[in-house]
């Protein structure tokens, strides 16, 4: 498994994967344990698409993704992939989409465990009252992503 680091408007990020798919996204540059630091074609393509996203030239990623979790987590992450660019859903709405309307907190935990932030857009999930909720990259990064997509 390879990892490579890139500078983006939100700071340093790491993208990891094999030659076939992207499997992890990291905020910062400290997560190298178990990875070879090597830029591969697929990591380079992922970084290019992220740059296009931040330049407002891309609204949807076209990359092979590989993610593993519980059946519940995967159902949440798949639901997140369906939230359109520039829109948000509440934790409750996501719970309803996956046909488990009482699972709002569990949806939040699945978001917290999302291995592919931005590519699987957990930043588009907010509290029912409009609050941001949480975000692995910090609330400032979440707000930046939401503002980027609004304009």
The residues carrying an active-site annotation are 122
127 burial (CB, 10 Å; 0-12 / 13-18 / 19+) is: middle
d(CA 88, CA 16): 27
Q: Is 130 left (phi over 0), alpha (psi -120 to 50) or beta?
A: left
Closest CA to 31 of 134, 146, 140, 136: 136
d(CA 151, CA 23): 29
- Residue 102: helix, strand or coil by DSSP? coil
């Amino acid at each position: 498994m390879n990892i490579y680091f890139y500078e983006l408007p939100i700071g340093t990020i790491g993208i990891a994967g094999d030659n076939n798919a992207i499997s992890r996204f990291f905020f910062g540059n400290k997560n190298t344990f178990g990875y070879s630091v090597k830029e591969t074609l697929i990591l380079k393509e992922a970084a290019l698409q992220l740059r296009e996203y931040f330049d407002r030239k891309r609204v949807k990623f076209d990359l092979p993704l590989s993610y593993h979790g519980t059946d519940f987590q995967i159902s949440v992450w798949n639901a997140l992939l369906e939230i359109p660019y520039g829109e948000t859903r509440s934790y409750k709405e996501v719970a309803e989409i996956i046909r488990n309307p009482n699972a709002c907190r569990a949806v939040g935990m699945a978001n917290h465990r999302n291995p592919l932030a931005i590519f699987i857009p957990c930043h588009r999930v907010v509290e029912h009252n409009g609050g941001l909720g949480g975000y692995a990259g910090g609330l400032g990064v979440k707000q930046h992503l939401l503002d980027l997509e609004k304009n």
